[in-house]
Amino acid sequence: MTETAAPGTTHEPRVVVVTGANRGIGRSIAERFVAAGEKVATIYRSGDLPAGVLGAVADMRDSAAVDAAFAEIEAELGPVQVLVANAGITKDTLLMRMSDEDFAEVLDVNLTGTFRCVRRVTKGMVRARYGRIVLISSVVGLYGSPGQVNYAASKSALVGMARSVTRELGSRGITCNVVAPGYIDTAMTAALPEATQDKYKAAIPAGRFAQPEEVAAAVEFVASESASYISGAVIPVDGGLGMGH
Ligand code: NDP
């Protein structure tokens, strides 16, 4: 890890935590911040991590474990300056078949898990009068999707969270934004039947799914100095699928 600003960056390396960086979009976001010369850590459950990423193990459903993981990271790297709350799950089924457990678990990881992380990092950010918080939502949170009542509810709630954080902490140099990906080539979309994938592609103006790197680029921007006046915003990375929502 470099101690001085890496080539191409205009600032000292920041401490960046990306949750769930062992695979998918989170992995790509973490790799991008490493390439930009930041000090990158992740809170994750299992699997291997990209080179240069410090890992602390915790399940997003466990407040004490999440707090302990942040403490572990901060002892190693210092206070968190950038948080990307990325860890998320789906448990899709039609509304009338959706159990309380299906609903509660998705909310616990996607919404309450994000809350646990945001709450934990903001104390240090307020003290430093600096922070960048990026919540990974989904086009589905704004557009709706059959079979995803639990997931869509968890993801749209992140918009209210980001806007409330912005109103509470916007005067302290802290921004909180939502990045709302459309369909991205990851394990989550690979699990969809081919016919469903084709139907979705036909509805996307760009005519294709995105690569995780395309989400990572938007996250890097919104966490950058250039985006210091952008807060409470929802940034779609969806090939036009959710336009107007
Ligand atoms: P993946 O399923 O590939 O990865 C999900 C990540 O979340 C994994 O690192 C996983 O860890 C972690 N995670 C899940 N549950 C927990 C938990 N209880 N505690 C800690 N970590 C957990 O998903 P994607 O990369 O596709 O998605 C990343 C984010 O982007 C999610 O929030 C998703 O909702 C959102 N998104 C994805 C889209 C897509 O098309 N793929 C579209 C729109 C939004 P583990 O490996 O241990 O399970």
Domain ranges of the chain: 15-228
CA 38 to the chain's CA centroid: 17
Name the token pair of 98: 């959706």
pLDDT(176) > 60:
yes
Give nearest CA residue, ligand 1 atom 9.
20
Residue 37: per-residue pLDDT? 98
Minimal CA–CA distance to 49: which of 80, 26, 70? Answer: 26
Q: Would the pTM count as exceeding 0.85? A: yes
- The CA radius of gyration of the chain, in Å to the nearest whole number, is 17
Please indicate whether residue 22, judged by its CB atom, sits closer than 6 Å to ligand 1: yes
What are 180's strand-pairing partners? Answer: 236
Averaged pLDDT for residues 185-193: 86
Residue 194: per-residue pLDDT? 92
Q: Which CATH superfamily is domain 15-228 in?
A: NAD(P)-binding Rossmann-like Domain (3.40.50.720)
Please indicate whether residue 186, judged by its CB atom, sits closer than 6 Å to ligand 1: yes
Q: For residue range 75-125, what is the model confidence (pLDDT) as tens digits?
A: 999 999 999 999 999 999 999 999 999 999 999 999 999 999 999 999 999
Token pair 């915790």 is found at 58
Please indicate whether residue 178, judged by its CB atom, sits closer than 6 Å to ligand 1: no
Catalytic residue among 44, 143, 151, 183: 151
Which of 51-55, 67-71, 125-129, 185-189 shows the lowest mean pLDDT across its residues?
A: 185-189
Q: What does the alpha-carbon distance between residue 148 and residue 130 come to, in Å, rounded to a whole number?
A: 35
Ligand 1 pocket: which of 28, 45, 107, 204 to mutate (most atoms within 8 A of CB): 45
pLDDT-derived band of residue 187, with 50, 70 and 90 as boundaries? confident
